[in-house]
Amino acid sequence: MTFNDIFKSSFLENVTSVSALDMIVVMALSFALGVFIFYVYKKTYQGVMYSSSFGVTLIALTMITAFVITAVTSNVVLSLGMVGALSIVRFRTAIKEPLDIAFLFWAIAAGIVLAAGLIPLAVFGSILIGIILILFVNRKTHITPYIVVLDCSDHDSEMRAMEYLKTRTERAVVKSKSAQKGRLELNIEIRLKDDNTDFINELADLPGINSAVMVSYNGEYMG
């Protein structure tokens, strides 16, 4: 192989397969969409502890996906090699919030659609998804389930507490109950009639009620 053969290599020809303008536009738009996804994630986050690193990951994921797909679309051989390379990648990080999965797929999809040249679809789709998430995730309603943790002295105090809850809430269902000598602990799922939570104060003052705690309930854990 001579020096002329080296300089005629298809590897050097691939340098100009993607123009500088295309690279700048793709990376700039992917960054803008990533920032928008990060903003929506920050506005709709409802977990216990907010992770800023995950938000930054959404920006990076959008940009990384965009430039990978840009390279793949410019070279068929490269696309086959990329499939083989990415097939060995394994992610071990656990996703704690179900909504985080939607943001990960959103960032990846935005990068793919943008790098494929469907810029209007990427922008319009991202804006529409962001509006829907902000409207539905941040919607406040008084029918949100809560858990009331009661510490009762005896069976009579338990019955009084249950009768009181049924008159002040839309629904009161016992989820769990533990009994010890001279003490009963109940976890009760309730649905409020309105936003007023003063009934918890009155519940704690009932005879035989040692304590009453109300916490929000998302179906998996209390927080």
Residue 113 identity: V
Using pLDDT thresholds of 50, 70 and 90, give the confidence band for residue 128: very high
pLDDT of residue 221 exceeding 50: no
Tens of pLDDT, residues 2-33: 545 544 455 445 555 667 787 788 888 889 99
Tens of pLDDT, residues 163-191: 888 888 888 888 888 888 878 888 888 88
Write down the residue that tokens 């656990």 correspond to.
94
Strand partners, 187: 149, 176
If one compares 60 and 221, the residue with the highest pLDDT of the two is 60
| Token digits of residue 187 | 């976890």
Residue ranges of the chain assigned to CATH 3.30.70.260: 145-216
pLDDT of residue 121 exceeding 70: yes
Nearest to 182, CA basis, from 151, 216, 220, 141: 151
CB 215 within 8 A of CB 146: yes
Q: What pLDDT was estimated at residue 136?
A: 81
CB 63 within 8 A of CB 111: yes
Check the CA dihedral 55-112-28-32 and report its sign. negative
CATH, domain 145-216, list 3.90.180.10, 3.40.50.1780, 3.40.50.450, 3.30.70.260: 3.30.70.260
Q: How far apart are CA 163 and CA 174, in angstroms?
A: 12
Q: What pLDDT was estimated at residue 15?
A: 52
pLDDT of residue 207 exceeding 50: yes
